[in-house]
Amino acid sequence: MAEGPFTHGFQVRLHDTDAAGVLFFAHLLRHAHDAYESLMAAAGFPLQGLIQDGIALPIVHTMADFQAPIRQGDRIQVEVSLDEVRRRSFSLNYRFLDAEGAQRARARTVHVLRGAGDTSALPSALRTALCRWLGPPDHGSQGTASQTQW
């Protein structure tokens, strides 16, 4: 059922950079979240619907590695894959590839179900949808869904 990573492209803008001339580190995670929002829409769970329904999937853990400078004008492809899905949480891996396919950075986010209504388990349709993008095991991964309490 897995169909490879979900992809999301963007171009690095001037406001993404700082006076040191490269991407300001925290903005990488903003772009990761953009990719996550597109993935959730593709999964049939656009965030605007979740917010209206009072459902939240807040990020309880994140990490990022910066392997090479990213500069204004660079075109970046983000590959998002599911690391793990559990009863009430899931974790996503992000790879940031440049136009030559070289990895410039990677990131991870761990999301936990919160909010109004039944928060005992993720909707099964969401779990099924996320599994389309299940990635290979990442033995070096830290901060996975398994490490949450949920």
Q: How far is the CB of 134 from its own copies (least distance, A)?
A: 23
Q: Which is nearer to its own copies, 1 or 21 (CB)?
A: 21
Q: Which is nearer to its own copies, 64 or 131 (CB)?
A: 64
Q: How far is the CB of 59 from its own copies (least distance, A)?
A: 4
Q: Which is nearer to its own copies, 2 or 65 (CB)?
A: 65
For residue 18, indicate whether it is catalytic.
yes
Burial class (CB in 10 A: 0-12, 13-18, 19+), 21: exposed
**Nearest Cα residue to 57 out of 36, 28, 31:** 36
How many other β-carbons are positioned within 10 Å of the β-carbon of residue 146?
12
Site residues (vs its own copies, CB under 8 A): 11, 13-15, 17-22, 24-27, 29-30, 33-34, 37-38, 41, 46-48, 51, 56, 58-67, 69, 71-73, 109, 142-143
Q: How far is CA 95 from CA 23, 106, 117, 124, 137, in A?
A: 16, 4, 34, 26, 14
Active site residues: 18
